[in-house]
Structure formats: C-alpha cells, structure tokens
Structure 1
Amino acid sequence: MVRGRISSIQVRIARPLRSLDRVQCRAHSSLAERLQHELTTRKLPLMYDYLYPQPSHMLNLTLCDLLPQSPDGRDVQTRLPSVTTPSPLPIAHHLIYFPPQVTLSQLLPDGTDVLHTPGSPFNRRLWAGGNLRFPAGAPLLDGSRAVCIESMRNVTVKGREGEEKVIVTIERRIGAVPEGEPEAQTWNRIWTDNDADAGQSSVIENRDLIFMRCKTAEQIQMDRGHFSKPGRNVKAPSDATFRHSILPTKSLLFRFSALTFNAHLIHLDQDYTQNQEGYKNLLVHGPLTLTLLLSVLQHNLNSKGLRVDRFDYKNLAPLFVEEELTVCGKPKNHGSAWDVWIEGPDGGLAVRGTAKTCK
C-alpha cells in the first residue's frame, strides 16, 4: 500500500462504520426525543401537606448530635414546639414534607416510586444534584396548608447506545394554599412555565435524577472485586474556613428514610446494595447529604447575619454508612457567596456546592 493513499479495502470498511454511526445517532436521538416528550408532559399529582412542626422537630432530634451547636446549647430542644409561637422552616427541612403520595403497588422492586421513572430498561436511580431557591424566605411551621407542585422540566440522554444514562430534571415549587382552593387555581398561582419566575413560591427546588440500566452479573462481580480497594479521588478545595466531621450510621439512614417516606433499598438493605447495585455498603441519601451540607453552612452564617438565598450542588462520589464525611466551606466574593463541599473519609471530593447569601 502506498503511504498517503486510501485503499479500496479501507473505503469498504469505512462506509458501513459511518452508516452504523448514523443509525446509532438516530436511535440515540429518537430515544432522547421520546423520553423528553413522555416525561415533560407527564402530569404529576399535586402533593399537599400541613406545615406542622412535628416532622421538622423529629429531623432536629435525629441530627442534633451530629451538627455543630451554639455554645449555650440552645440548638437542642427535645420538646415539640408550639404552633402558637411558630418558628420558620429550617433550611433544607422542606425535604421531609410533601412525601411521595404513592401506594405500595406504585413502588418498583428497588423501593423507588413510579412518578419520575423513564421506564425499563432504566431501572436504577441515583440522585445527581440540583439547586434550591428561597424567593420568599422560610414559611412558618404554624400548621397551615401548603402544596408542592412537581413537573419534569428537562430530560437528557447521555452515553452511547446500549449504555445510555437518562438524566431527569424535576422542578418542585412549594407555596401556601387556602383550604378548598381548586387545583387549577393553585397551579396557576404557584407554577410558571418560565422557570426564572418564582410565582407565589416560597421554595423552588430542582433535582437531577440519573436513571441507568441494571448491572450484569459480570459487572457486579467486577464491582465486588473493588470493594476493598481505594476508589479514584477528585481533589477537594483547600483553605476551608470551617470543617465539621460527621459519622453517618445505619440508624441515621433509617430515620431519614422514614421521615422522607423513602423505601429505596440502597439506603436500607446491604445485601441488595452489594449484589444488585454493586456498591460496597449502604449509600447516604442525596437529600440527606444536602441537608447536612446546608445545616452546617447555615450554622456558620448565623453569626454573620446571613442566610442562603440560592444553592447549587453536584454529587460527585458516593458516601457510605459508617464512613466519616467532612462538611467544609469558605467565603468568596467578600462573603456574598460561599464554596461548600463534602469530603469523603480519604479526603476526596464527594459533593460540591455554591451558595449565594443575603441578609
């Protein structure tokens, strides 16, 4: 063969490869378009709740031994607060209100619900990250009626054919609702097609869920062979101005699952987690790490007279039960924003976030 010239054999090989690439591209595009239409047009039920202090109080009791406390110990209150002198909803505590309102028959084999799933073969789910906004400040825990409106804003398919991952972005809007208000009127007050418009929401949350195929027996066997080996680390930022370490226990994971009405087996069943998902131990919930991150951050902001106005975060590596995690942070932009993150037991970066603050 003469250097610099393309042989007829190379041409005959290249043509079917290009054709295969086009077929795979069309299949990938078709899947993405189908799921985008199916999920973003899926009508999800409105979730109502009453903002009584009991769930928030139980979460405080669950976390009080793990979070930093004020020197005078006032942060620990074992008596249920009264609705006659209501306190504001603590940051991230909205996560334990408005649980998924599904029956047992609407749970999948892994304990997750059917509300947001793209369907088979994407039967595994992980919490990838998201963002939070608090446009109206925290609502009061006075027992008033409230609603959470959910919709799937966007669907993205990544990966080559046969190995795709489906990323579903869910938007949740929480707002007060009068007794007897028609659902259509509630929807029009709180939900807007423009996601930048807060409407009459007090909390706006976007969460990204990743749906994947079940692992093969060979993949599980390969994962199990790495259980005792250190994973790859992403280097964490340096120069943290605060650091706080927490040891998540099985009791913590169970309580948080109960408070959030979450039956996902990766937080509850070690045998399932190891032999079906290929993880070495129970995983700490994505919303639990978010709660820990924001709670420690807000503790450090209190002395500065600041609160979180917006928070963006991404989960980069799994965190496991009985392995110490460390919540860290440092200010930037003269304190109007903060970089916050969670380090795993080996110091690697597990969760990364950015908070914008206000008075």
Structure 2
Amino acid sequence: MSMKNSFMHGLLKRAIQTRAYTSLSERLHHDLTTRKIPLFFDYLHPQQSHLLNLSLQGILPRSLNQDVPSSLPSIRNPIPLPIGHHLVYFPPQVSLSQLLPDGTDILHTPGEPFNRRLWAGGNVHFPISGPALDGTRAVCVESIRNVTIKGREGEGKVIVTIERRFGTVPEGESEAQTRSRIWQEDEADLGDSSIIENRDLIFMRSKTAEEIELDQAQFDKPSRTVRAPTNATFRHSIIPTKALLFRFSALTFNAHSIHLDTNYTQGQEGLRSLLVHGPLTLTLLLSVLQTHLESLGLRVAHIEYKNLTPLYVDEELTVCGKPKSDGAWDIWIEGPSGGLSVRGSAKTCPI
C-alpha cells in the first residue's frame, strides 16, 4: 500500500470511529436524560439527622456538636434541617434485584461496558434555610440533566449529571402535580424546591487484570499530589474510620462495595483501601465551613466542589477554607500528605 493510500485508509478508519463514538454519545445522552426516575418520598423526622450528628460527634469542630442530645429531638419544637443533612434523607428506593454486583443501583448507570462508578463532584443550592424537622412529608424529584463522554474512543468515561430537587408535599397530591410544582425545565427556576443538588457521577470500564496488578504494585508507594492553596483561615483535621463509613452507608442506604469491602476495593478497583463516600466528604466540607461562618453571622447559600483524588479510610483529611475578595469562599480538603483532594467554592448569605 502506498504512503498516500495508507494515509487515506487511516483517515477513513478514524472517521468511522468518530461517527461511532458520536453515535454512542448521542444514544447515551438520549437514553439517560429521558429516563424517568421514580419519586423518592421521605418524612422529615429528626431521626436521620440525629443519627448523623451522633456519628459525627467528636470529629467536627466542637461548636457544631457539643450539645448533641442523647434522646431524639422533639417535633413539637422542631429544629431546621442542618446544612448538608439532606444527604441522609431520600435514600434510593430500590429492591435488592435492582442492585448491580458492586452494590450500586441501576437508576443512573449507562450500562455495559461502563460498570465502575465514582463520585466526581457537584454543587448544592440552598435557596432558603433548611426545612423544619417536624415530620412533614417531603419528596426528592430526581432527573438526569446531562450526559457527556470524555476520553479516547475505547477508553472513554461517561459523566452523568443528576439533579435532585427537594420539597415538601401534601398527602394525596398526584405525581404529575408534584413533578410540575418542584421540577422545572429551566434549571435556574427554583420552583417550590427548598434544596437543589447536582451530582456528577463518572462511569468507567472495568479494569483488566493487568491494570489491577499495576495499581496494586503502587499501594505502598507515594502517590502524586496536587499542590493545595495556602493561607487558610481555618483548618480542621479528621480521620474517617471504618465505623464512620459503615454508619454513613447505612444512613444513606448505600451498598457500594468500595466503602465496605476492602478485598473488593483492592482486588476489583485497584484502590489501596476503602474510599470515603462522596456525599460524606461533602457533609464534612459543609459542616466545617458552616461552623466557621456561624461566628460571622453567615450561612452557606451555594457550594460547588470537585473530587480530585481519593480519600481513604483511617487516613487524615483536613478541611480548609479562606475568604475571597468577592465575598465568596475558597474551600478545599487536603489528604494526609497535604496534597489537594477536593477543591470547591462557596457563596454565603446572612443567617
């Protein structure tokens, strides 16, 4: 084959691959964004929040949990939902048959060959102060807002952006009425939502045996780190234990094996230990930040964050933050070696 013919053959092959890749991207985008996810109902009793407070007692800044009562708070004089505690309400209401082999559910998966799932980051908007924990019936309206594929053909990762809107709902309201009242086509339209959260989940191909062996060979070697910001206004260190990971998995109805099974995590994912949950990381970030803001008469109105490197069980993490010139805050989490693991920013408003 001449050089010219070889060059043209290569161009044709790449063009065919590009069309196939575009077709996959378009198909996944259509299939997932039109997927109707069931409504998640819950009652805003203080129990879940109370159990989370007990689980975090002693590891958060003292002003947040020094007065955690041993008995369940009253719903006659209800407290507002603490910042970040929405994450332990509205668990995925799926049966065991709707769980995949790694313990994750089928609600957001793009399907084969994208069988591995990790939490990449997201954002949360708090339009109002937290709703009262008075036993009111509430709902989470969830939808898949966007789907993108990144990476080379054959090695691509699928990023699924999930929107979750929370609001109270009266008994007897129809599903159609609930959806139209809380979910809005325009993402900027708050509707009747009290909290709006977006999550970015990354779905990847399973690792080959060779890839896992290479990962395992690196377990005892120092990993590359990203330099963290400097001049933090506050710093608070935490060591997430196996007990904490188990309790958070139980509170969120999360059976993902990367948080519970060391043999699975090392042998199937090629990660050196159990991973700290993405929503637990967000809970810690919000809780520590809010402690500092309360002394300034402020609360979190919006937060966005990105998970850069894994955080592991029994390894110290440090939540840090500092104000920006525009009144917002830079926030981040450093891993045990001081490298940047989570990077984010927050906007505030008066309490």
Instruction: Tell whether the 8 Å contact from 2:57 to 2:66 is kept in structure 1 after alignment.
Output: no
Q: 1:17: how far off?
A: 1.4
Residues in 2 aligned to 1:236 and 1:10: alpha-carbon distance in whole angstroms: 49
Q: Quote the Cα distance in structure 2 between the aligned partners of 1:86 and 1:178.
A: 19
Question: What residue number does 1:156 align with?
Answer: 148
Letter in 2 for 1:355: A
Q: Find out whether 1:138 has 2:91 as its counterpart.
A: no
Q: What is the CA-CA distance between 1:164 and the residue it aligns to?
A: 1.1
2:333 is matched with: 342
Paired residues of 1:136 and 1:201 also in contact (CA < 8 A): no
Match of 1:256 among 248, 251, 275: 248
Query: What whole-Å deviation, never above 9, does each CA across 1:196-241 have from its counterpart, x for those lacking one?
Result: 1000000000000000010000000000000011111111000001
User: What's the offset of the Cα at 1:23?
Assistant: 1.2
What is the aligned counterpart of 1:16 among 9, 15, 22? Answer: 9
Task: Report the aligned-residue RMSD.
Answer: 1.1
- 1:171-191: CA deviations, max 9, x gaps? 000001011111100111101
Alpha-carbon offset, residue 78 of structure 1: 2.2
Deviation at 1:27, TM superposition (A): 1.2
Structure 2: how far apart are the matches of 1:148 and 1:75? 30
Q: List aligned pairs for 1:164-203, cutoff 5 A.
A: 164-203=156-195
| C-alpha distance in structure 1 between counterparts of 2:224 and 2:237, whole Å | 21
Identity %: 68
- Structure 1 unaligned spans of 5+: 1-7
Matched letter for residue 104 of structure 2: T
Q: CA deviation at 1:24?
A: 1.5
Offset of 1:152 from its aligned partner? 0.2
Letter paired with 2:319: V
Cα deviation, residue 13, structure 1: 2.2
Distance 1:47 1:132 in 2: 18
Letter in 1 for 2:28: L
1:358 aligns with 2:349: yes
The answer to whether the Cα contact below 8 Å between 2:330 and 2:346 also exists between their aligned partners in 1 is: yes
Q: Which structure 1 residue ranges, 4+ long, deviate > 4 Å from structure 2?
A: none
* 1:64-213 alignment runs, 5 A limit: 64-70=57-63, 74-213=66-205
Shift of 1:74: 4.2
Give the equivalent residue in structure 1 for 2:223: 231
> What displacement does 1:170 show?
0.2
Q: How many residues align?
A: 350
Quote the residue 1:306 is aligned against.
298
The letter for the 2-side match of 1:124 is R
1:28 and 1:160 in contact (8 A); partners too: no
SS in 1 for 2:142: strand
Amino acid at match of 1:29: T
Q: CA deviation at 1:330?
A: 0.2
Q: 2:61 & 2:128 partners in 1: Cα distance?
A: 27
Amino acid of the structure 2 residue aligned with 1:172: R
2: CA distance, partners of 1:99 / 1:158 = 29
User: 1:333: Cα distance to partner?
Assistant: 2.4
Deviations 1:91-147 (A, max 9, x none): 110010000000000000000000000001100000000000011321000000000
Contact 2:302–2:346 under 8 Å retained in 1: yes
- Write the distance in 1 (CA, Å) between the matches of 2:95 and 2:68: 35
Q: Separation in 2 of the partners of 1:333 and 1:294? A: 20
Counterpart in 1 of 2:53?
60
Partners of 1:79 and 1:355 lie apart in 2 by 33
Residue 3 (structure 1) aligns with: none
Distance 1:64 1:194 in 2: 39
- SS of 2:63's equivalent? coil
State the alpha-carbon separation in 2 of the partners of residues 119 and 354 from structure 1. Answer: 33
Aligned equivalents of 1:56, 1:153: Cα separation in 2:
28
Cα distance in 1 for residues equivalent to 2:2 and 2:57: 71
Is 1:240–2:227 an aligned residue pair?
Answer: no
